[in-house]
Structure 1
Amino acid sequence: MRRAPALSFLLVTVFLDMLGLGLVVPIMPALLSAVTEDAGAAVRWSGLLGSVYGLLQFVVSPLLGRLSDRYGRRPVLLVSLSCLGVDWLAHAISPGPWTLLLFHALAGACAGTYTVVNAYLADVTAPEARARAYGLVGAAFGLGFVAGPTIGGLLDTVDVRLPFLAAAALSLANVGYGWFVLPESRPGDRTTPLTLRTANPVSAIAVVLRRPVLGRLGYARLCADIARMTHQSTWTFFLTHQFAWGTARVGAVLAAGALAGALFQARAVGPIVRRLGDKRAAVAGGVLGVAALAGTAFATTPWLLHLLQAVGVLASVGGAAAQSWLSRAVRADEQGTVQGALTGIDAAAETVVPVLVGTAFAWSLTHAAPGLVFAAAAVFAAGSTLLLATTPDLRRP
């Protein structure tokens, strides 16, 4: 198998996914305002688009993972990328919000990129090398986050729809690239059952969570997702309120953190996990994450905030290590099924948590306690770390 081209394609895919998101997210308010011709309606439609995308991803991700076990990783990944490109193109040419909603729902239903990428990497990398591979995926994610808003801002000065055309072109070009360079990592197994029960996201997730070791790792993943989404949903608002920073400085802090995280995951995660092992590295990353979140809750000076941000970068070793550990706890013929269920857990958190956290953060501002949500995130991160620390490191569930 041509692993080098395959790994390159997967990293390019993750980078372009995040680059496309970074291109369009800063421009979305302007596009929706132009489409709806009403600022209030634009805000409501923005929230609806995000919720529908997350809901459809939750509903369909377990099925996509199952399909990748049954029919192979390659076709599922290429179809998912094609749907994403069509979604961005629809954003560029859509005459009204209902068209945007339709195609954004389609993109959510086809959002199997990370499910299949994680399963593919488990197929083609030895267990001891997976943490490094997942670290590289995290680095590609971070670099896309840095590059996207910058390029999107430049394109927006030409035309508000141009960033969406650029995102569509990049996604569809990547499909063509993958068609020629991406080999199949694992031939599909047509004996893998495909039933209504296995396609039901609640049933698929419940099956994973009921397994002794895998279930504990899944609950740890859920707690970590809640902590991560709490941080992501309120970070920029917290910086603006607590330190009175403008958008330029907030953007610089976000970009610096993402770039530092990408470099760390690309260069340091593999050696660290090789030395500590998946479990100890995951627990160490969890402890650092708890410290970063808890410290942020009480940060009142910029230097302390930057120090805690550096601790958070070091904590990213935990995510790659935990993902590697999860992949080792799963049989080769069910990697897609389990990764799909885990993506469903991620999607559920990404759909529900921002709404709840936004409400909680607004309440905390009225009570002069803006760091309260970060303290709550630290509690969930601590729960995740405790689950990891008390789970036996077995090769199979």
Structure 2
Amino acid sequence: MHRAPALPFLLVTVFVDMLGLGLIVPITPALLTAVTADPGTAALWSGLLGSVFGLLQFVAAPLLGRLSDRYGRRPVLLTSLGCLGVDWLAHAALPSPWTLLVFHAIAGACAGTNTVVNAYIADVTPPDGRAKAYGLIGAAFGLGFVAGPTIGGLLGTVDVRLPFLAAAALSFANVAYGWFVLPESRAGDRSTPLTLRTTNPISAVLDVLRRPVLGRLAHARLWSDVARMIHQSSWAFFLTYRFGWGTAQVGAVIAGSALAGALFQARAVDPIVRRLGDKRAAVAGGLVGVVSFAGMVVASAPWMLFVLLTIGVLGAVGAAAGQAWISRAVGDAEQGAVQGALTGIGALAETAVPVAGGVVFGWSLSYGNPGLIFVGAAGCAALSVLILAVTPQHTELRSS
């Protein structure tokens, strides 16, 4: 098998996936306002679209992961990218919010990119090189996050639907690129069971959580995801209320921190994980995250913010090390199934946390301290670190 084009394609895939999502971030409010003719209704539909996407991703991710084990990574990945392109076209062409909801639900059900990419890397990368590969994937994710909103904002000034057309074009171009370039990472195993129990999201998640080592790693991943989502959903509001910054300053800080994180993951993750090992690197990265979140509670001046952001960038090593550790604990025949279950767990956090975070942030404003919400983020990150610290280092390999 010719594996040389695989990692570059996966990096392009993650970059384009995040770029496509980022393109539409600054323009979605304007599009939905134009469709609904009411800003309040537009905000309601925006939240509904996001929640439905996350819910359908939770429902379908275990199935997509198991399909990639049974039929191969390549067809599932290309199908997921194609569905996302169709969703963006629907945003550009269809005026009804209900139609957008249907297509966005379909896109959520097909959102298997992260699941298959993580499984593909485990297929083609030796265990001691996976942290580096996952670090590069994180860097591509961050660069897409930086570029997407900037380009989307510029295209949106020309036409409100143009960013969606651009996102669709990128998705379809990536499908074409993968069709001709991407090799299959492992032959599908037709003996992989496809039953109601194995593809049911609840059963798939519980099967992962019940396992001694992998279950602990999944719990740690869940609490880390919750901490990340608390930060992500409230970050722009925090900067606005704590420092009185406008959209340009907020955007610059978000883009700058994302770019710094991408560069760090691309260059520094591999040597750190090689020196410390997966477990110690994951614990160290998590502890750095706890310090960064806790510091945000009392950050009262921009210089304190920038110090904490610098510290937070170093914590990116934890995610790559944790993902590499998980991949070591999973047998080759079930990488897709496990990654699908983990994607489902993350989708639940992405569905529920923004709503709860909005309520908590409003409560924190009533006490005059918008940073109080980061107490919850620090607590969840600390719980994740504690679970990692007590998890045995040895691997746990099992076939489905």
TM-score (norm 2): 0.98
Equivalent AA in structure 2 for residue 55 of structure 1 = L
Corresponding residue for residue 34 of structure 1? 34
Determine helix, strand or coil for the equivalent of 1:4: coil
Q: Number of matched residues?
A: 397
Tell me the secondary structure at the aligned position of residue 157 of structure 1: helix
Structure 1 vs Structure 2 CA RMSD: 0.7
For 2:350, the equivalent position in structure 1 comes to: 350
One-letter amino acid of the counterpart of residue 48, structure 1:
L
The equivalences for 1:1-397 within 5 A come to 1-397=1-397
Partners of 2:73 and 2:394 lie apart in 1 by: 26
TM-fit CA distance, 1:38: 1.2
Q: Deviations over 1:138-166 (max 9, x none)?
A: 00000001101111111111100000000
Preserved CA contact (<8 Å) 2:283 2:318? yes
- Aligned to 2:5, the other structure's residue is in SS state helix
Please tell me the residue identity of whatever aligns with 2:13: T
- CA distance in structure 2 between the aligned counterparts of 1:393 and 1:258, rounded to whole angstroms: 31
Deviation at 1:49, TM superposition (A): 0.3
- Please give the alpha-carbon distance, in whole angstroms, between the structure 1 residues aligned to 2:28 and 2:40: 14
TM-superposed deviation, 1:37: 1.1
Q: CA deviation at 1:2?
A: 2.4
Aligned partner of 1:101: which letter?
Answer: L
SS in 1 for 2:300: coil
Alpha-carbon distance between aligned partners in 2 of 1:30 and 1:20, rounded to the nearest angstrom: 17
Mark the runs of 5 or more structure 2 residues left unpaired by the alignment. Answer: none
* Residue identity matched to 1:132: K
In 1, the alpha carbon distance for the partners of 2:260 and 2:4 equals 25
Return the alpha-carbon distance in structure 2 between the equivalents of residues 23 and 129 of structure 1.
32
Give 1:181 deviation, angstroms. 0.6
Alpha-carbon distance between aligned partners in 1 of 2:293 and 2:225, rounded to the nearest angstrom: 13
Task: Percent identity, please.
Answer: 73
Q: Which residue type is aligned with residue 301 of structure 2?
A: T
Q: Distance in 1 between matches of 2:40 and 2:230?
A: 25
State the Cα distance separating 1:369 from its structure 2 match: 2.6
Q: How far off its partner does 1:27 sit?
A: 0.2
Aligned letter for 1:62?
P
SS of the residue aligned with 2:370? coil
How many angstroms does 1:25 deviate by?
1.0
Hey, what's the Cα distance between the residues in 2 that align with 1:325 and 1:150? Answer: 34
Alpha-carbon separation, structure 2, partners of 1:66 and 1:257: 35
| Structure 1 CA distance for aligned equivalents of residues 207 and 175 of structure 2 | 33
Residues 77 and 112, structure 2, Cα contact 8 Å, conserved in 1: yes
Distance in 2, Cα, partners of 1:4 & 1:388 = 33
Shift, 1:322, TM fit: 0.1
Structure 1, residues 310-334: CA drift from partner, whole Å, max 9, x if none?
1110000000000000000000000
CA distance in 2, matches of 1:160, 1:301: 37
Name the aligned partner's letter for residue 340 of structure 2. Answer: G
In the TM superposition, what is the alpha-carbon distance from 1:39 to its structure 2 partner? 1.1
Structure 1 counterpart of 2:210, one-letter code? R
Q: Deviations over 1:110-158 (max 9, x none)?
A: 0000000000000000000000000000000000011011111111111
Unaligned runs of 5+ in 1: none
What is the rounded CA distance, in whole Å, between the counterparts of 2:47 and 2:148 in structure 1? Answer: 21
Amino acid at match of 2:287: V
User: Contact (CA 8 Å) 2:213, 2:395: kept in 1 or not?
Assistant: no
CA contact (8 A) 2:22 2:147 kept: yes
- Quote the Cα distance in structure 2 between the aligned partners of 1:29 and 1:288: 35
Determine the C-alpha separation between the residues in 1 that align with 2:393 and 2:309: 30
Deviations 1:340-380 (A, max 9, x none): 00000000000000000110101110121311110111011
Q: 1:3: how far off?
A: 2.2
SS of the equivalent of 2:158 reads coil
